[in-house]
Chain A
Amino acid sequence: MYSAADLRKGLRIKLDGDPYTITEFNFVKPGKGQSLYRCKLRNMITGAQFERTFREVDTFEPADLQQKAMQYLYKEGDNYVFMDLESYEQVYLTDDQVGDAKNYLIDSLEVEILLFEDRPIGVTLPNSVDLRVEHAEPWAKGDSVSGNYKPVVLETGYRILVPPFIEEGEKIRVDTRSGEYLTRVKE
């Protein structure tokens, strides 16, 4: 159990049945008044954000969260299927829960799955993933002005801007946090 005095940025608590991350925190105390703990919270399942002020007497349950190493297997309807690398159990995440991570999910990619009270709620990717270019316009000479980027489609369907020398069939490394091209990968 946490008390209001334990609140701080980054702490994860359970409120009304859902896990929340504290994204901003400030301690405020007017004059001879009571301590107030003003927090911005993000719902870790829905992403919804809101502000709430707690008082000294408020108590909180820690959010029961766990990260587990898993492997991406395949997409089944609207669900993404992952396998626990220890127990070989399969878990499912919806399209919404996967979010932009779907741009990087290739067969057997190793990821971290976030579980809240043993229910999967999100996925954390490695910082970069290598992906094959499935479709690219050929490099037309004359377009080679430096700083020029061209759009290509990757094997996951993700459209990304890359330098003009990248050809169809090549592999590139993509930063999963910014969504941007990093480098060409030699095979």
Chain B
Amino acid sequence: MVVNSVRDFFVGRGYLEVETPHRIPAPAPECFIEAVPAGDWFLHTSPELCMKRLLAAGHARIFQICRCFRQGELGSRHLPEFTMLEWYRAGADYRELMSECEDLVTTLAQDLDMPGGLVRGGRTIDLRKPWERLTLKEAFERYAPVPLDEALAVGTFDELMAFEVEPRLSMDRPVFIHDFPVSLGALARRKSGNPEVAERFELYIGGLELVNAFSELTDAGEQRERFLKEEAKRRAMGKRPYPVPEKFLRDLAKMPESAGAALGMDRLVMLFTGAEEIGDVVAFRPEEL
């Protein structure tokens, strides 16, 4: 049901459904995302690089619903194999994708006959638009014991985000958290007028991180530098080295300004079914195999 509605939504807006290979030679080097090796190659952790190559090839609106694989991610909101929805739109920036997220979720709520809102943990989440937009800095001011800059400087950002900020977000209304530090968005464009932050947002609904999106970095030179930086960090941490995705970098030079979003489909189904655990919305959890 949810998947059919999602397809209808994007097809209705002129998006082309695409399929890209799941097995790829070079994942995007990111410090904290581990790809599963498959032969000499890897299972993709997201279809991002291939989909951007399709943008570069001239497809202006594309979406894909596919399985993604991330090693070692297993918890109440993570599965090592999960379903991702990604969509990309040429000519758009991250603000326009925020509006599109609002439209997507409210359309689904109507299609699924839940226009009044979602219920999570006994609380009803009011889906009426527009949804709140908070910068990451504002979210820290509101919910964390220390300001964002200090959390980043002393290296407690992840803990504060996970245990202080996220649990207090979006319990009654969805919220967009936007403008992340550039170091937390390896493929996101710098914000014009504020180059320290990237035009990236995350959408939270009912305490669930549902969407990660950004205005895409289209400067191939800067992208290469960021990849090399991430890859150096990966190696310093003793992680499996990834080759540089050269063909992606080559095509990036031809990619138009655009924005893209990734949405965890399993979490979306959790929201619409009220499931507490991600394992409740798949046929088999890893431990059942």
Q: A interface vs B, CB < 8 Å? A: 5, 26-36, 38, 53, 56-57
What residues on B are CB-neighbors of A33 within 8 Å?
32, 157-158, 161-162, 184
Contacts known (A28-B162, A53-B163); A34 close to B72, Cβ less than 8 A? no
Report how far A33 CA is from B30 CA in the complex, Å.
10
Instruction: Contacts A31-B209, A33-B184 known; list 7 others, CB within 8 Å.
Output: A5-B72, A26-B75, A26-B76, A29-B75, A29-B162, A30-B158, A56-B32
Interface SS majority for chain A: loop
Q: B interface vs A, CB < 8 Å? A: 30-33, 72-78, 157-159, 161-163, 166, 180, 184-186, 202, 209, 212, 237
What residues on B are CB-neighbors of A30 within 8 Å?
158, 161-162, 166, 209
Q: Are B158 and A34 in contact (CB under 8 A)?
A: yes
Report how far A64 CA is from B166 CA in the complex, Å.
37
What residues on B are CB-neighbors of A36 within 8 Å?
158-159, 162
What residues on A are CB-neighbors of B78 within 8 Å?
27, 29
- Output the nearest chain B residue to A32 by Cβ-Cβ distance: B184
Q: How many whole Å from B187's CB to the nearest CB in chain A?
A: 10
Q: Are A28 and B75 in contact (CB under 8 A)?
A: yes
Report how far A86 CA is from B186 CA in the complex, Å.
62
What residues on A are CB-neighbors of B33 within 8 Å?
32
Contacts known (A5-B72, A26-B76, A57-B237); A31 close to B159, Cβ less than 8 A? no
- A sample of 6 inter-chain contacts (CB < 8 A) reads A27-B74, A27-B75, A27-B76, A29-B32, A35-B73, A53-B159
What residues on A are CB-neighbors of B76 within 8 Å?
26-27
Q: Are A34 and B31 in contact (CB under 8 A)?
A: yes
Q: Are B73 and A29 in contact (CB under 8 A)?
A: yes
